[in-house]
Structure 1
Amino acid sequence: MRKGISDRSALLFVVLAPLLWAGNFIVGRALHGTIEPFDLNYLRWFVAAITLLPVIILNWRDILLSYKRHMPELIVLASFGIVLFNWLLYVGLKQTPASVSGLIFGLSPIIILIIARIWRGRRLDLLEIVGGLVAFGGVGMVLFTYADMTSGFSLLTGPIFVLFAALAWALFTVCLNRLRLPLAPTPCMAAVVWCGLCLMTPLAVWRGNLTVPNVLVPEILASGLYLGVGASVVAFCAWSTGVRQLGAARAGVFLQLTPFFIVVMTAVFLGEEVSSRKMLGLMLLLVGIGMVNVGATKVPGNPNRAG
């Protein structure tokens, strides 16, 4: 009986995390005319870094040792996961509807698989190739519709930035698994966040946009708190707890809720249209990713779990 209650709680955690991550797209799109992408990214991770200070204090010996022995690895992880990922995403969201961006970013599991296979020198099997084509076809259909509605492909600059954001996230995910820093998940996150913040701070100081009066604007302050605490720390802890209870294989299925939540939330909060083509694209994306996951589970050391 106790195990059943634990599983139900874990299910709530692995649903909560994609819901919070989907909110990142909503906030990034909602603020696209209010704050510059770099500044929003810096504000997010500044808030997350402050929130993670107790973790740094409690684990300072292990984290300091990791900084001394694994600084190149930490810089790589911070560059992809903290500096580039959301910066590129927020740049893309300045020009691209959040629902379209969410579908593009939904290709991340397939990009992760491809990078992991290349890293290991393994080829994709037929089911993975077909699944990838189905997923990319669904997203491509939405992009072609979007380009047609916005009078040409010149406005695909935004989607290209979102695709590069997905690539940055995929590289971060694969490197996180392959580099294997000697830290527990939460201290590792704290170490990477603080490293990324240090990398961004000189540029943030030079730009000088994040002054106290600017940050205290209610809209920006609330968004920064949500992104730094909710979409970063709380989402990560919820996901880690759910994975620990359910296992990576069962929990990983729920990651596919992220593009679904994004499409629904953009309609509710941003008034973006949920067209039949967009829903068909979402269905093709999810079916394609499902086919890829089935193919990946046939291979020992499933690379779709971050390689």
Structure 2
Amino acid sequence: MSKGLLYILLFLLMVIWGFNVSAIKILVTYFPPVFIQGVRVFLAGLVVIVVLILSKRFERISRKNALGIFVVALFGVFGHHLFLALGLTLTTGSNTGLILGLVPLFTSIFAMIFLKELLTFFKVIGILSALSGVYFIILKGNGPVSGFSLGDLYIFGAVITQAISFIVIKKLTTNLDSRQMTGIMLIFGALMMFGFSLWIEPVEISQFQQPMYVWLVLLASAVFATGLGHMLYNYAIQQLGAGSTAIFINLTPFFSLLGSALFLGEKIVLEQLIGFVLIVIGVILGTGMLEGTFRSLKRRNLSRSLER
């Protein structure tokens, strides 16, 4: 696959991931939230496993890697999707999409803490900018929720758990295929969600008598956004590098805002747009993307000057 085509597919994936926030908001409105997240994630995991088996890329994993995948599933699938489901029942899709835009930043913060990555001046500025963006979205917003809500707190939980899982994934993928890990962790996490759902949610047959478009939303979200989407993203990391691929993540809050307006009828206010800009700036600075670009350009210019 050419780089040009891969860039186009990544852009389309960010559109899908942004709109997927609205899809999950619709699903948790019609179904028990934790249960339907389990169904959605389980279907996504099956898609990944089937693709791997058909392409003959599914291999046995060691007990050590199985334990690591379980930890990733606990945080990145069960924890993340549990908080996301509960949060979307109590806050808006637009707030959710914008807060989820903090995932790369918190991943970078945890990398500084647990992986001893360097804290630079630009990263500090980026963290402060992103937190200012959160202030505008939540505390200055004039939407249906006044001030900081429990739903927003749950979405922060989704951000933190996914960021922790990314740190574990970074350690695991040194000796394990990322696509195989993705499929297995989705299945593990879905089974955890089913068990938790049986404990906290009464699931009745009548709840499955929903309009056809709701089932289509479920399939599209599971297959394209979560299943094939994560496989494409992992492939892009392998082909383009983590830095180049991560830049595209900054597009998802914008498309989540657009999706909330188009599909959920939510009103986008000025404070949310200001928060969006501040979060994007914060992520670019806080994750070291800008510094990495400068270093790459400097090395390129230096190599050109030496060639002359």
Q: Which amino acid aligns with 1:137?
A: S
Q: Which amino acid aligns with 2:282?
A: G
Structure 1 residues 258 and 272 mapped into 2: Cα distance closer, same or farther (>3 Å)?
same
Match for residue 73 of structure 1 among 68, 74, 86: 68
Find the counterpart in structure 2 of residue 172 from structure 1: 165
Deviates more, 1:174-183 or 1:255-264: 174-183
Q: Which amino acid aligns with 1:267?
A: A
Q: Is the 8 A contact 1:56 1:191 kept in 2?
A: no
Q: Is the 8 A contact 1:62 1:183 kept in 2?
A: no
SS of equivalent residue, structure 1 residue 70: helix
Count of residues paired in the alignment: 293
How much is the aligned-residue C-alpha RMSD, in angstroms? 2.8
CA distance in structure 1 between the aligned counterparts of 2:110 and 2:294, rounded to whole angstroms? 15
The answer on 1:121 being equivalent to 2:116 is yes
Q: Is the 8 A contact 1:21 1:258 kept in 2?
A: yes
Find the counterpart in structure 2 of residue 260 from structure 1: 254
Q: Which amino acid aligns with 1:41?
A: Q
Find the counterpart in structure 2 of residue 200 from structure 1: 193
Q: Is the 8 A contact 2:27 2:218 kept in 1?
A: no
Q: Which amino acid aligns with 1:175?
A: V
Structure 1 residues 52 and 238 mapped into 2: Cα distance closer, same or farther (>3 Å)?
closer
The answer on 1:225 being equivalent to 2:187 is no
Structure 1 residues 150 and 57 mapped into 2: Cα distance closer, same or farther (>3 Å)?
closer
Q: How does 1:229-240 map to 2 (within 5 A)?
A: 229-240=223-234
The answer on 1:22 being equivalent to 2:18 is yes
Q: Which amino acid aligns with 1:102?
A: G
CA distance in structure 1 between the aligned counterparts of 2:169 and 2:244, rounded to whole angstroms? 20
Find the counterpart in structure 2 of residue 36 from structure 1: 32
Structure 1 residues 294 and 242 mapped into 2: Cα distance closer, same or farther (>3 Å)?
closer
Structure 1 residues 144 and 82 mapped into 2: Cα distance closer, same or farther (>3 Å)?
same
Kindly provide the CA deviation profile for residues 73-130 of structure 1, in whole angstroms up to 9, marking residues without a partner as x: 1210111122111121121111111111111111111111111110023552221111
Deviates more, 1:258-267 or 1:117-126: 117-126
CA distance in structure 2 between the aligned counterparts of 1:141 and 1:61, rounded to whole angstroms? 46
CA distance in structure 1 between the aligned counterparts of 2:4 and 2:293, rounded to whole angstroms? 28
Structure 1 residues 200 and 30 mapped into 2: Cα distance closer, same or farther (>3 Å)?
closer
Q: Is the 8 A contact 1:17 1:236 kept in 2?
A: no
Q: Which amino acid aligns with 2:84?
A: L
TM-superposed deviation, 1:204: 4.7
CA distance in structure 2 between the aligned counterparts of 1:208 and 1:126, rounded to whole angstroms? 50
Question: Mind listing any 5+ residue stretches in structure 2 that lack a counterpart?
Answer: 296-308
Q: Is the 8 A contact 2:39 2:190 kept in 1?
A: no
Kindly provide the CA deviation profile for residues 11-47 of structure 1, in whole angstroms up to 9, marking residues without a partner as x: 1121122222112210122234311221121111221
Kindly provide the CA deviation profile for residues 170-192 of structure 1, in whole angstroms up to 9, marking residues without a partner as x: 01111100233633222121121
Structure 1 residues 263 and 62 mapped into 2: Cα distance closer, same or farther (>3 Å)?
closer
Find the counterpart in structure 2 of residue 186 from structure 1: 179
Give percent identity, aligned residues only: 23
CA distance in structure 2 between the aligned counterparts of 1:151 and 1:216, rounded to whole angstroms? 28
Q: Is the 8 A contact 1:39 1:210 kept in 2?
A: no
Q: Is the 8 A contact 1:181 1:188 kept in 2?
A: no
TM-score for both structures, normalised by structure 1:
0.84
Find the counterpart in structure 1 of residue 305 from structure 2: none
The answer on 1:276 being equivalent to 2:270 is yes
Kindly provide the CA deviation profile for residues 246-289 of structure 1, in whole angstroms up to 9, marking residues without a partner as x: 33222221110010111111111112122222211111111122
SS of equivalent residue, structure 2 residue 70: helix
Question: Mind listing any 5+ residue stretches in structure 1 that lack a counterpart?
Answer: 301-307
The answer on 1:137 being equivalent to 2:136 is no
Match for residue 162 of structure 1 among 155, 161, 175: 155
Match for residue 101 of structure 2 among 98, 102, 106: 106
Q: Is the 8 A contact 2:49 2:58 kept in 1?
A: no
TM-superposed deviation, 1:241: 3.6
Q: Is the 8 A contact 1:55 1:190 kept in 2?
A: no
CA distance in structure 1 between the aligned counterparts of 2:111 and 2:209, rounded to whole angstroms? 39
